[in-house]
């Protein structure tokens, strides 16, 4: 029998023997397993003490209960009411909007815009309605002739006083807000088209200083004008001026003229002639120019009355607040308007306005501190 001791293996390159290494590699080496003794000092690196563990558990428990209970005891509408109350409790800040608009890139187009058309300040119009009044000069002259005070009334002038405006939008976010009593405390309350007041005073307030309308959107009920100081016409076509003249002079439009409105219009608004105005088209024009910076498509943009009302408010008041603004297109089942059950997905059918661009614009105003969002949907 041949044993390994008699074998000789040499490296072909240098003639050295490979056997000792081979034998050494083949010989098993005893393995000794050392058991690590965990000391008290080591365990403290990984485990909390009993008192620390108790404190940590209490913090987690309180945090969980807070996340569940705080929204129940302090709902969002109460938070918004507290913010609104805090805003109204402080003194009016003169030139607040102006000072906070200046840093915005779009600010240059939003300053010093005429609010109402005045007979003693003729303008060479180079744009057609609603961005101008080109082609409607004769209709405008008749309407202005029926207005005893076509300019800015003394009650809306800034001289000698600080004024607060609130623009009340029609958004469903206003429903259940309970902001009505707060809204009524503002110096100037601006509403849009036929957004109702009677029956919705708790959320929307009861007073109206200026209601922006076009003929087809004018409220049909006389009750809507009971606490209204002024109605301002937004001109979209020459016939709108004829309608205003008819309403002021109490001379009805012809049947043929009424056929050109896209829906039936009211024949009478129970206000005196001095309570009517014509919104200056430059408000619409400048608002559209600013919105173009936020839009994906180029071209003349027609803003909503809501966005136009905000720009108008910036001309009239030192501080401006918004209520009922912000369409939430991510929730199609949400309420579109505060006064009806139409849902948010109905906005998809309209193609005239770019509500996405308007939301970005209003968000910038809020972020800059130029306006305050009372309902928190922007």
pLDDT at res. 69: 44
Q: For each of the chain's 378 residues, which pLDDT tens digit applies? A: 444 444 344 444 444 443 334 334 444 444 444 444 444 444 445 455 777 667 766 767 665 554 444 444 445 568 888 888 888 999 999 999 999 998 888 787 898 999 999 877 778 899 999 999 999 999 999 999 999 877 778 778 777 789 999 999 998 899 999 999 999 999 999 999 999 999 999 999 999 999 999 999 999 999 999 999 999 999 999 999 999 999 999 999 999 999 999 999 999 999 999 999 999 999 999 999 999 999 887 777 799 999 999 999 999 999 999 999 986 656 666 788 899 887 766 665 555 678 889 999 999 999 999 999 999 988
- Where do the domains of the chain lie, and which CATH numbers do they carry? 82-373 (3.90.1480.20)
Q: Long-range pairs for 338-347 at CB < 8 Å and ≥24 separation?
A: 338/170, 338/171, 338/172, 338/173, 338/174, 338/175, 338/195, 338/200, 338/203, 338/204, 339/170, 339/175, 339/195, 339/196, 339/200, 339/204, 344/172
Give the contacts of 326 (CB within 8 A, at least 6 positions apart).
171, 173, 359, 362, 373, 375, 377, 378
* Cα 148 off chain centre by: 36
248, two tokens: 């002021």
The predicted model scores a pTM of: 0.78
Query: Mean of the per-residue pLDDT values for the chain?
Result: 82
């Amino acid at each position: 029998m041949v044993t390994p001791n008699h074998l000789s293996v040499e490296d072909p390159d240098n003639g050295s023997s490979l056997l000792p290494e081979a034998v050494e590699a083949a010989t098993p080496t005893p393995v000794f397993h050392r058991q690590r003794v965990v000391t008290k000092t080591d365990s403290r690196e990984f485990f909390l003490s009993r008192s620390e563990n108790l404190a940590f558990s209490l913090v987690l428990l309180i945090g969980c209960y807070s996340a569940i209970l705080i929204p129940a005891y302090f709902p969002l509408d109460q938070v918004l009411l507290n913010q609104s109350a805090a805003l109204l409790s402080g003194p009016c800040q003169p030139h607040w909007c102006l000072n906070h608009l200046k840093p915005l890139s779009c600010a240059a187009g939003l300053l010093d815009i005429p609010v109402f058309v005045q007979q003693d300040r003729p303008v060479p119009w180079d744009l057609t309605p609603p961005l101008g009044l080109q082609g409607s000069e004769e209709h405008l002259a008749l309407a202005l002739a029926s207005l005893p005070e076509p300019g800015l009334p003394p009650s809306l002038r800034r001289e000698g006083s600080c004024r607060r405006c609130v623009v009340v939008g029609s958004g469903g976010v206003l429903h259940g807000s309970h902001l009505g009593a707060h809204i009524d405390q503002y110096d100037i309350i601006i509403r849009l088209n036929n957004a109702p007041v009677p029956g919705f005073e708790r959320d929307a307030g009861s007073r109206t200083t200026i209601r922006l309308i076009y003929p087809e959107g004018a409220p049909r009920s006389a009750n809507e004008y009971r606490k209204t100081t002024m109605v301002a016409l937004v001109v979209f076509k020459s016939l709108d001026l004829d309608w205003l003249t008819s309403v002021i002079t109490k001379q009805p439009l012809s049947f043929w003229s009424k056929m050109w409105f896209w829906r039936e219009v009211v024949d009478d608004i129970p206000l005196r002639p001095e309570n009517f105005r014509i919104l200056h088209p430059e408000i619409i024009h400048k608002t559209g120019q600013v919105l173009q910076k936020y839009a994906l498509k180029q071209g003349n943009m027609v803003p909503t009355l809501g966005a136009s009302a905000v720009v108008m408010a910036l001309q009239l008041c030192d501080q401006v607040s918004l209520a009922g603004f912000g369409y939430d297109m991510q929730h199609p089942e949400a309420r579109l308007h505060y006064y009806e059950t139409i849902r948010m997905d109905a906005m998809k059918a309209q193609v005239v306005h770019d509500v996405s661009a308007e939301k970005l614009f209003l968000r910038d105003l809020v972020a800059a501190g130029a306006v305050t969002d009372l309902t928190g949907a922007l």
